[in-house]
Chain A
Amino acid sequence: MKEDTVIIVENLTKNFGDFTAVNNISFEVKKGEIFGFLGANGAGKTTAMKMLIGISNPTSGNAQVAGFDVYKNPNDIKKNIGYMSQKFALYDDLTVKENITFFGGIYGLSRKKIEEKRCQLVEELGLQEIVNELVGSLPLGWKQKISFSVALLHNPKIVFLDEPTGGVDPITRRQFWEMIYKTAHEGTTIFVTTHYMDEAEYCDRVSIMVNGKIEALNTPKKLKEQFKTSTMNDVFLKLARG
């Protein structure tokens, strides 16, 4: 494994009975890269992502995430990645503070470290007013920003974001992406799925999955040149509609 490559996927395949959800995909992601993982509903994105974060075993093929093999060391993978999904982010019935303490705890951070991180977060995100409020009472945009920060508590090498900005207002969505840029700039790799095609443009490289296969993988600029279109949306439509 090269020094700066944090995800290596080779011929990864996942079958459910007769159905091939992920069909022989291969790609690499570098350190500090923002990697967009796009595809229509049911194209196999979620299945592929589950294999990479070590909660689902591939049918065949190889994958290494953060230097660990998905078959042999799924637990080491989990220690070295952060994960944030749209569906589950934080506990609604705990306060912001309690959520941070809890998630810091499950990643084995010391009490002192958690305290330190919490102060840092409160400072950076401007949480002073809401740190003792229940997460359930916060607007969606806040929740998503906080849960992204929580996914970063243990300084993971890679963060997996599953549609992090669905339904979020446009201003918060941009603030969220600024956080992503900052995180990537500091050397953390971002692996992100989204349905907003303008967000695909923010990525360093983008892969597009169609029916379990990666049909395109390049920088947004090159993809647009390749498909002779002016937006990623059109690239996506051309590919997915066939």
Chain B
Amino acid sequence: MKRFIGFIKKEFYHIFRDRRSLFILFGMPIAQIMLFGFAITNEINNVNIAILDHSKDETTKEIIHKIASSKYFTITASILNETEIETAFKKGHVKAVLIFEKDFSKNLGKENNATVQVIADATDPNTANTISNYVSAILQNYQQQINVAVKTSYQIIPKTRMVFNPELKSVFMFVPGVMTIILMLVSAMMTSISITREKELGTMEILLVSPLKPFQVIIGKVVPYIFLSIINAIVIVLLGIFVFNMPVQGSYFLLAAESVLFIITSLSLGILISTISASQQTAMMISLMALMLPTILLSGFIFPVSSMPLPLQIISNIVPAKWFIIILKGIMLKGVGIQFIWKSTLILVGMTLFFIGLSVKKYKIRLE
């Protein structure tokens, strides 16, 4: 046991003396959360739009006022004729132009029918789509207001309620995603690198020619990173809660337990990588290519799994991150208990056992 503690002590020396890695280790989660939370988002806020109002009557004024007072849009320009629309887009100042047809009020009154044209800049299709949806919503809302006074024919108005994330905040998507990536990175990449570093330095030779048992070497390598990963997980959850008002509906205990499980899954992957790579560089490449990319692309973190082509959907099942994200969303957003996520949990447990078994089989007590 004393040998083992001595080993762990040494690992912590390595970690704390490598300032740059330490900075990455703790700086990265914060930077990523902030980045995903603030910069990369599907919501729109204060989008600049222009108005081309051909009728300039009471109704259009009211509608424009309604749009301008919403937090989604800022009206930056009034355009006088059609030819200016293109110039406005090309300058890039506005993302959409709203055109009210001539005699808007009259048409609405007489024929119960008036047209608003929304022209959106679709270089960014997602934003364009969202803008048009928001505008429609505002118009519909206005329509309902005036319809209260004037009883007209029957209408079916769909009322959508977004559950679990009523404000459609994308940051709620990203917090579980970033947490998954960070834990994967810290656990898998860092351990595989630190084990292969010993191979590269030649110190692994000495460790092998010592009474230290192979599993002691491996566990000794892993323990410090379990600590670091747990700290990272806590930092991310706290940032989510206090900076982005992310709710944690379910049990904190379950959240912690599942996180530790995922950390162990990642660590076992890291060990597996280190058994098959001879240098730090290879370990890093394998970690990045085989772990990071699938984690980001196939886990459902950014692209929903359900909208992927079938082969990719099937492949996504072997990405541990997919299951962890399901678990995280379940606990944090839906507030479910273990009875709803036991299947994903079981899959992760199975994967972990598999990786550990494979590593043990691959681990060499000799150099060949």
Instruction: State if A and B touch, Cβ cutoff 8 Å.
Output: no
Q: Which positions in A face B, CB cutoff 8 Å?
A: none
